[in-house]
Amino acid sequence: MAFHSDDPDAAEALPPEQEPGAAEPSPDSLPDSSAEELPPKEPEEDPPGPDLPAPPLDEIRDAMQWAFADQEVEAELLDTFSEHARLVLEGNRKVNMTAILDPKELAVKHYLDSWRVAQFLPMFGHTVLDIGTGAGFPGIPIAITEPMARVTVLDSTRKKTDFVQTSVDALGLKNVEVHWGRAEDWLLTNRADIVLFRAVSSIRENVRTLRKGRHAINDVVMLKGKSWSREVRAAEREVERLGFSLDTVWEHSLPDGMGERAILLYRAPNSQGGQ
């Protein structure tokens, strides 16, 4: 069962390895999660986040300036990030989407972290699918950063996609589509150049999610924390079985000691080896 967290290190507990000598299952013989009711039934009550008013927009904007102090970014980009952040913090009072409420921490862990993906992998002209987007990360900051990318943000929680749609409308983002449902279903009828996972589940579970749609995608990008190498090793057999391959790992540090991060690029079975 996949989950979403603010912390890329909070990966799902890895399932036990197969017994030595046991037959390897084929990719399509794995349990089919799409046989469940789709999308999963929502709880009757979705608990809200802390009932705290969002900080003033000027305070959020100052936090963005601080987080991006060493980066070359246009002021308009930080303005839009700040507007989205205010919407997230206000919306969090109704739907619990993030535990990060401090403006500087929010600017670093949600916006700088997401923005760096678009610096690592060019998105211009590509179709991007953000699976388990939550409040819109990393898909919304990437769509703001690269308006020529076509970004679909997807989540199986209706209240979250409702919020994301409201924020997309408020910001006037024309290159974003919001989808409520499961990635397995979306990939049956759509294609994506780049698939994004951020703090959704373990690498092994992420590639399993893509197994039936793996020929409809090109690259898979996973945002991970400092324990990324352990996850990579644990997922090696599953990744190989499903035809994926680890291409590149880019490690980076967040400012002010807020954590170590890694961006992992996996090539899908029909990848042409580059954008």
Higher-confidence position of 223 and 7: 223
Strands 176-180 and 192-198: unpaired
> What pLDDT sits at residue 19?
36
- Is the pLDDT at 232 greater than 70? The verdict is yes
Q: What is the pTM of this model?
A: 0.84
Average pLDDT over all residues of the chain: 86
Among residues of the chain, what percentage have pLDDT more than 70? 80
**The pLDDT of residue 108:** 98
Coil/strand/helix, residue 151:
strand
**For residue 72, what are the domain limits?**
51-267
For residue 2, tell me if it sits in a domain: no
DSSP 216-268: GEEEEEEEE-TTHHHHHHHHHHHHHHTT-EEEEEEEEE-GGG--EEEEEEEE-
Contact 185, 34 (CB under 8 A): yes
86 — pLDDT class (breaks 50, 70, 90): very high
Domain membership of residue 205 (yes or no) is yes
Determine, yes or no, domain membership for 6: no
Residue 39 has pLDDT above 60, yes or no: no
**In this predicted model, which residue has the larger pLDDT, 10 or 158?**
158
Q: Which residue has the higher pLDDT, 147 or 12?
A: 147
User: Whole-angstrom Cα distance, residue 71 to residue 198?
Assistant: 22
In a domain, 63, yes or no: yes
Would residue 101 count as lying in a domain? yes
Q: Are 268 and 244 in contact (CB under 8 A)?
A: yes
Residue 45: pLDDT over 70: no
Spatial contact of 211 and 188, defined as CB atoms under 8 Å apart? no
Residue range 22-46: average pLDDT? 40
Counted domains in the chain? 1
Does residue 18 lie in a domain region?
no
At 52 the pLDDT is 74
| Residue 9 located in a structural domain | no
Q: N- to C-terminal Cα distance for the chain?
A: 31
Q: Please report, for residues 18, 69, 121, 124, 174, the alpha-carbon distance to residue 149 in angstroms, rounded to integers and kept in the order given.
A: 40, 25, 12, 5, 10
> Can you read off the two tokens belonging to residue 183?
């990635």
Asked whether residue 206 is assigned to any structural domain, the reply reads yes
Q: What is the CATH number of the domain that holds 178?
A: 3.40.50.150
Interatomic CA distance for residues 155 and 185, integer angstroms: 12
- Could you tell me the CA-to-CA distances from 27 to 20, 31, 53, 216, 243 in Å, in that order? 18, 10, 48, 15, 9
**What phi-psi label fits residue 274: left (phi over 0), alpha (psi between -120 and 50 degrees) or beta?**
left
Candidate from 32-46, 160-174, 240-254 with smallest mean pLDDT? 32-46
Which residue's structure tokens are 């990393």? 138
